[in-house]
Chains A and B, each alone.
Chain A
Amino acid sequence: MNRTGLIIQREFLSRVKKKSFLVMTLLGPILMASLFIVPIILSESGSPQKEVLVLDETDLFEGYLAESPESRYTYLEDMELDSAKSKLKKSDAYALLYVPCGAHCDLNFIEKSIQLYSEKTVSLDMKYSLKRQLERELENLKLKRDSVDLEKIEAAKTSVNISTISLEGDQEEENYSELTTAVGFVMAFLIYIFIFIYGAQVMRGVIEEKSNRIVEVIISSVKPFQLMLGKIIGVALVGLTQFLLWVILTFAIVSVVQYAYLDDAYSSTAVAGQMAGSQANDAIAEVQANEMPKILKMMDSINFPLIIGSFLFYFMGGYLLYGALFAAIGAAVDNESDTQQFMLPVTVPLILAIIVAQTVITNPESPVAFWFSLIPFTSPVIMMVRVAMGVPISELLLSMGLLVAGFFGTVWVAARIYRTGILMYGKKVSYSELWKWIRFKG
């Protein structure tokens, strides 16, 4: 095995054998899986149905408040408010809804005077659910009072559904921009996190070698450049391994839990419903009936080979570019607390990228999106968002080319800082000093 290979091997094995790697590898998927599973289990088991007493002096709402899994309603007949309150205290009921009539049971008076009594703090869900139901009914009553035809209003209600169809290539293809946007953003975010976590690991590794004083021993056997590159690649392989294990384990956990806790028919729709945001049960039923083929079609509309290919490319490209810079920072300092002054210029473009990514989602063709997806320091994040949403192949290739060039550029700069920095002890380094190291021919 050649020497760079040996270094890669050591960097990889020494990290993978650590306990913290094992812990992170196991913990990561559990956290990720719980993001999907816990809300389902929670809604499945739910909280017990709450009883709400209703004292309706107007008699307008009897039977209008719909019983739901969360709450049921008991109407109190011919009772004073005070005795209703004491009944609430004595019973297990959760709250008391009081609708006063006032002098004439005027609708405008009622809407301002409704009260909800409870011994505990009333949950927001409960409050808004009641508010919505009462508002709707009062609106209907007002319209009736003014002799408006309710049926006509119902008929005039409209829900517009725009299908976006891309004309790329010869085929017309219906695409689903919400889904592709989400996929793109998640991947961009993963790249961002990955660069930070593993870039910092490279930096710490360099500082460790420097403060252990082993670095001079090693570079009497290999070139400093080989040592730096070996470390960056070794850490990258650790990251990829961990990422792969996460994906596999997350899928495994999600499917095991689905199998164990939920019966098949319900689980798929529940997961779908969970992903689409909470919907009423009937809506889920509708999804089940009509939308399943559509979901499959949506999955089909995503160009997976392109997205996964680009993801791996930008994942590695972005990491290698920043990894080299992190290595240079590690070489320039004596210990981790000195890294701050050099971290800022390296992290700012990354943070900027993830901020800009949020505007790119709404406007993938804007000049900002265009330029940021070409600049190598931001392209791994921004171009990933755009790739998922569809981007001309020429722009993609240009961006990839620039990233490769950017990688060689930063590695060249980093190598020059690195080979001087690793043998420099006990000296606080300034930017002008770094500039000298870069120009210095060695």
Chain B
Amino acid sequence: MSLLIAENVVKDYAEHRALNDVSIEVPNSSIFGLLGPNGAGKTSLIRIINQITGPDQGTIYLDGEPLKPNHIEHIGYLPEERGLYKKMKVGEQALYLARLKGLSTHEAKKRLQEWFKRMEIIDWWDKKVEDLSKGMAQKVQFVTTVLHEPKLLIFDEPFSGFDPINANLIKDEILRLRENGATVIFSTHRMESVEELCDHIALINKSEKILDGKLSDIKNDYKNGIYELQYHSGNFPVEMPNGMTITEQSEGRARIQLAEGIAANQLLQFILPHVGITSFKEEIPSANDIFIQTVQKASV
């Protein structure tokens, strides 16, 4: 079951088409990476999901229903361009944002205090926002985004402005929210966090979706049959059987590409008599490789 479905979304601005026939499906309780180069159209799509703008064509379904104004309460959005009122007090402001999302004052206060304690910012409740460090302000923004316990969370570059410790804290919170049933759309340029967090991705380039699916499936598709082998003794054979090609060989290490239809076991069987193996593994492309490869291929 998919929580969010975007069907054939088209968005035109005065000068250019920001989204061209883009469809995505975000499965329930997944962390969905929305990837793409700058200006590809990610933010346009996110704004449409948040009903900040409307699509020119296409439909968005949340929980099977076309988007309606009251769906806003089920979405939490942390935009890339985010900030707070500088002159307002932290607690007062968090309360205001929570009430705008439809929480009662009482409920909002209760939840805020829990969250503020866990994030270790409760002492800042009565401070003005302008006195906060950037990381502190980011924590406040994160809390106000998730406070109303939405089904769908949308984070646009959530880790920017955090030091590694706090970035980890936020990452754990995101995983915890998913455990509790939330679905997360996650837009970022930091591929290592995609690797760590996402189970599904969609790649948008120049207003079009060029790749989507389960991250593990995509990785399988992008494998090119190269295995890396490390050994400590013996001589690596120079002549290989048909379908096995040495792409790189140095002292104690070799990379071999297997043609389609040839199993890794065959390679091992062939090589076992020759060398003492210390490690053997298939090279799996990183999200970063996939990103660069796909975008470059699409640009050609």
Contacts and interface: CB of A to CB of B under 8 A. Distances in A.
Contacts, number: 62
Given A3-B100, A14-B87, A222-B100, A213 B81 contact: yes
Contacts of A14: 85, 87-88
Interface in B111-150: 141, 144
A14 B129 CA distance: 14
Main secondary structure of the interface of B (DSSP, over half): loop
A212 B56 CA distance: 29
A223 B88 CA distance: 22
Interface in A200-214: 208-209, 212-214
B69 to A, nearest CB: 8
B85 A212 contact: yes
B97 A221 contact: yes
A214 B47 CA distance: 15
A436 B15 CA distance: 10
**Size bin of chain B's contact surface:** 20 to 34
Interface in B31-64: 47, 50, 52-54
B81 A440 contact: no
Interface in A1-33: 1, 3, 6-7, 10, 14
Contacts of B14: 436-437, 440
A208 to B, nearest CB: 8
B85 A217 contact: no
B99 A216 contact: no
Contacts of B101: 221
Contacts of B88: 14
A257 to B, nearest CB: 36
Interface in B98-114: 99-101
Interface stretch (B72-80, B225-233, B260-268): B72-80
Contacts of A261: none
A48 interface: no
A116 B39 CA distance: 84
B274 interface: no
B100 A218 contact: yes
A442 interface: yes
B277 interface: no
B85 A220 contact: no
A216 B79 contact: yes
A214 B100 contact: no
Nearest to B56: A441
Contacts of A222: 100
A209 B72 CA distance: 20
A220 B100 CA distance: 10
B84 A10 contact: no
B84 A220 contact: no
B82 interface: yes
Interface string A406-440: 00000000000000000101000000000011001
Given A221-B97, A436-B14, A214 B50 contact: no
Contact of A423 (B52, B69, B72, B78): B52
A52 to B, nearest CB: 62
B223 interface: no
Interface of A: 1, 3, 6-7, 10, 14, 208-209, 212-214, 216-224, 423, 425, 436-437, 440, 442
11 contacts: A209-B85, A214-B84, A216-B81, A217-B82, A217-B83, A219-B52, A220-B75, A221-B72, A222-B100, A223-B69, A440-B14
Given A217-B77, A221-B72, A221-B100, 17 more contacts: A1-B99, A6-B96, A14-B88, A209-B85, A212-B83, A213-B81, A213-B82, A214-B82, A214-B83, A218-B100, A220-B75, A220-B79, A221-B97, A224-B52, A423-B47, A436-B14, A437-B14
